[in-house]
């Protein structure tokens, strides 16, 4: 089960023993490389980057760091080890052996889940493709590229499942992954957040904090799947995801730290003065939090979803940490509290737990988001600044679900009040990033690529990568 890097497509699935599949994937590979060249990180063909590459799917399999020439990264197919005798943990098939092949009756919905998951991966690479040009330091540039190559690998993970288990339509879907593009008016990516631009590094850190975290929760739910190859694939993807969220959390933290430093130096909390000193004021950071959080909440789908109920009942997609939950894992008669708008107020009402599966996952996600906010607030407090970040109400700025179109002329404020469209229009500039915010943040974005140097709007990291100092030459240009 070791990863075989001697093959054209590195893998731990004994690809060489299935010539047909191997040939099909080898035929897809040049299309992937063309996509990476055209829509992957801009202008990086000759960069050597200090990257980690998996040498095994064991927990110490990440110990391998070294310089990799960007397009030579070895994208491959890595599944977590099978668990002998694994059974399905939930739904109508609870207790039956996990499926090694796609059950015919669930082929359509299973393919749809895999395609939706797969589509987000190259989308994020497309969204981030220009960021290398304006990196705040070599350390950050290296982290960006690490995230990018791993999102590319996540696409490989889903394409493998499509090729290996879905025949002709699987191959067609694999092609279509490279034909939809983020923000393309004719062929957009499937989910909303993946068509939003990621124009600056503040957006990038917010995206990796909030949107990659949706990835964590979706992957964890798919890692419970009764379809064993999907479960094992997602299990390994989760080990890569942890670093992406670390990049986001530490990135926002370092920006807030730098802002506090400037505020203390200048003894001011005036956003104009903070900006004039080349730092990002905390109000702007809060508006970015509001945007990225609300857009990421939409990724969990409708609060009440028959799709989600069916995925669960049929054993395709479970709950977060399904096997650690103590209930009957069928949920036929169970209820779950769901917030909804009643007149002037948001109230919480019990709904069938099966239809509320998406909302339950969103709830797990919200609790996880709070943890990082607490850590950011602790750092702000430690700097002596009397100010806290907060997550807006889950109903704020939603485009999917019960809060998306409550009624004409009705909106929800960040503190969860039902308000009129007029109040929204009047105040939205203090709630969501404005064009002025984007222009200001954009004006700070200049590439800093000398080892040991860093842009003025962000603090250096507490420690480097793999025990290396911050001054290490994380990227070599040729």
Q: Under the rule (CB under 5 A), what is the footprint of Fe ion?
A: 121, 151, 154, 212, 215, 241, 244
Nearest to 361 by CA among 338, 379, 380: 338
Q: Pick the binder of ligand BYC from 12, 22, 53, 117 (CB under 6 A).
A: 117
Nearest to 369 by CA among 238, 252, 237: 252
Q: Pick the binder of ligand BYC from 48, 173, 196, 214 (CB under 6 A).
A: 214
Q: Pick the binder of ligand BYC from 130, 307, 434, 468 (CB under 6 A).
A: 307
How far apart are CB 403 and ligand BYC at their closest, in Å?
13
Nearer to Fe ion, 198 or 413 (CB): 198
How far apart are CB 331 and ligand BYC at their closest, in Å?
15
In Å, how far are 145, 198, 208, 440, 461 from 251, measured between CA atoms?
A: 15, 15, 9, 18, 8
Nearer to Fe ion, 98 or 149 (CB): 149
Phi, psi of 289, deg, nearest 5: -60, -50
Nearest to 325 by CA among 364, 292, 374: 364
Report residue 348 as tokens: 């919480």
Q: Pick the binder of ligand BYC from 113, 178, 262, 391 (CB under 6 A).
A: 113
- What count of other Cβ atoms lies within 10 Å of the Cβ of residue 268? 15
Report residue 384 as tokens: 């002596």
Q: Which stretch binds ligand BYC (CB under 6 A): 96-104, 117-125, 378-386, 430-438?
A: 117-125
What is the size of the binding site for ligand BYC (CB under 6 A)?
A: 25
Pick what 299 binds: Fe ion, ligand BYC, none; C-beta below 5 to 8 Å, kind-dependent: ligand BYC
Pick what 316 binds: Fe ion, ligand BYC, none; C-beta below 5 to 8 Å, kind-dependent: none
Nearer to ligand BYC, 52 or 317 (CB): 317
Helix-, strand-, coil-residue percentages of the chain, each rounded to 5: 50, 10, 40
Pick what 287 binds: Fe ion, ligand BYC, none; C-beta below 5 to 8 Å, kind-dependent: none
- What count of other Cβ atoms lies within 10 Å of the Cβ of residue 429? 13
Helix 306-313 to helix 107-127 angle (10° resolution) is 120
User: Residues with Cβ < 8 Å from 21, sequence gap 6 or more?
Assistant: 15, 163, 164
Alpha helix segments (H runs only) across 180-281: 201-206, 212-222, 228-266, 271-276
For ligand BYC, what does the binding mask look like between residues 314 and 353, x meaning CB under 6 A?
Answer: ---x------------------------------------
The residue assigned the tokens 């969204």 is: 127
Q: Which stretch binds ligand BYC (CB under 6 A): 30-38, 62-70, 292-300, 407-415?
A: 292-300
Q: Which stretch binds ligand BYC (CB under 6 A): 37-45, 211-219, 330-338, 402-410?
A: 211-219
Residue 142's region, left for phi above 0, alpha for psi from -120 to 50, else beta, is alpha
Contact yes or no for 218/298 (Cβ under 8 A): no
How far apart are CB 224 and ligand BYC at their closest, in Å?
12
Q: Pick the binder of ligand BYC from 126, 150, 151, 249 (CB under 6 A).
A: 151
Nearer to Fe ion, 151 or 224 (CB): 151
Residue 152 to residue 171: CA distance in whole angstroms: 17
**Does 126 help bind ligand BYC (rule: CB under 6 A)?**
no
Three-state secondary structure call for residue 21 = helix
For ligand BYC, what does the binding mask look like between residues 155 and 194, x meaning CB under 6 A?
Answer: ------------------------------------xx--
Q: Pick the binder of ligand BYC from 41, 61, 136, 215 (CB under 6 A).
A: 215
Nearer to ligand BYC, 211 or 290 (CB): 211
Residue 206 to residue 197: CA distance in whole angstroms: 12
Residue showing the smallest CB distance to ligand BYC in the complex: 301
Nearest to 372 by CA among 359, 389, 349: 389
Nearer to Fe ion, 244 or 411 (CB): 244
Nearer to ligand BYC, 32 or 300 (CB): 300
**Does 300 help bind ligand BYC (rule: CB under 6 A)?**
yes
Residue 305 to residue 150: CA distance in whole angstroms: 31
**By CB under 6 A, what part of segment 437-476 binds ligand BYC?**
none
Nearer to ligand BYC, 132 or 460 (CB): 132
Phi, psi of 237, deg, nearest 5: -60, -35
Which residues are near ligand BYC by CB under 6 A?
A: 113, 116-117, 120-121, 124, 151, 191-192, 211-212, 214-215, 218, 298-302, 305, 307-308, 317, 358, 400
């Amino acid at each position: 089960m070791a990863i075989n890097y001697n093959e054209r497509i590195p893998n731990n699935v004994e690809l060489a023993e299935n010539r047909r599949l191997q040939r099909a994937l080898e035929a897809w590979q040049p299309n992937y490389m063309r996509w990476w060249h055209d829509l992957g990180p801009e202008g990086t063909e000759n960069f050597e980057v200090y990257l980690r590459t998996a040498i095994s799917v064991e927990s110490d399999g990440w110990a391998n760091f070294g310089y990799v020439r960007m397009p030579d990264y070895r994208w491959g197919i890595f599944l977590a080890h099978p668990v002998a005798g694994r059974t399905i943990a939930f739904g109508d098939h609870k207790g039956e052996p996990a499926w090694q092949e796609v059950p015919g009756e669930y082929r359509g919905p299973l393919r749809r889940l895999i395609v939706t998951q797969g589509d987000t991966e190259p989308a994020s690479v497309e969204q981030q493709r220009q960021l290398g040009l304006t990196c705040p330091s070599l350390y950050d540039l290296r982290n960006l590229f690490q995230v990018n190559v791993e999102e590319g690998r996540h696409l490989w993970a889903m394409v493998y499942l499509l090729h290996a288990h879905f025949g002709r339509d699987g191959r067609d879907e694999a092609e279509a992954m490279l034909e939809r593009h983020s923000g393309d008016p004719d062929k957009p990516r499937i989910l909303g957040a993946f068509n939003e631009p990621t124009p600056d590094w503040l957006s990038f850190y917010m995206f990796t904090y909030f949107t990659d975290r949706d990835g964590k929760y979706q992957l964890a739910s798919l890692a419970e799947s009764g379809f064993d190859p999907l479960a094992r694939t997602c299990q390994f993807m989760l080990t890569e995801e942890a670093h992406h969220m670390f990049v986001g959390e530490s990135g926002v933290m370092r920006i807030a730290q730098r802002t506090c430093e400037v505020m203390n130096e200048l003894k001011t909390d005036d956003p104009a003065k903070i900006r004039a000193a080349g730092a990002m004021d905390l109000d702007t950071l809060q508006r970015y939090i509001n945007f990225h959080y609300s857009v990421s909440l939409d990724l969990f789908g409708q609060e009440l979803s028959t799709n989600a109920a069916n995925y669960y009942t049929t054993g395709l997609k479970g709950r977060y940490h399904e096997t650690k939950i103590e209930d009957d894992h069928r949920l036929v008669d169970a209820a779950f509290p769901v917030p909804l708008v009643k007149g002037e107020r948001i109230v919480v009402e019990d709904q069938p737990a099966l239809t509320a599966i998406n909302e339950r996952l969103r709830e797990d996600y919200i609790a996880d988001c709070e943890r990082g906010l607490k850590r950011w607030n602790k750092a702000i407090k430690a700097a002596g600044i009397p100010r806290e970040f907060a997550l807006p109400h889950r109903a704020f700025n939603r485009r999917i679900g019960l809060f998306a179109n409550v009624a004409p002329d009705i909106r929800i404020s960040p503190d969860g009040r039902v308000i009129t469209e007029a109040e929204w229009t009047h105040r939205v500039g203090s709630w969501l990033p404005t064009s002025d915010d984007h222009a200001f943040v954009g004006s700070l974005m200049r590439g800093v690529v000398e080892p040991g140097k860093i842009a003025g709007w962000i603090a250096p990291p507490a420690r480097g990568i793999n025990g290396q100092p911050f001054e290490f030459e994380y990227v070599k240009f040729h």
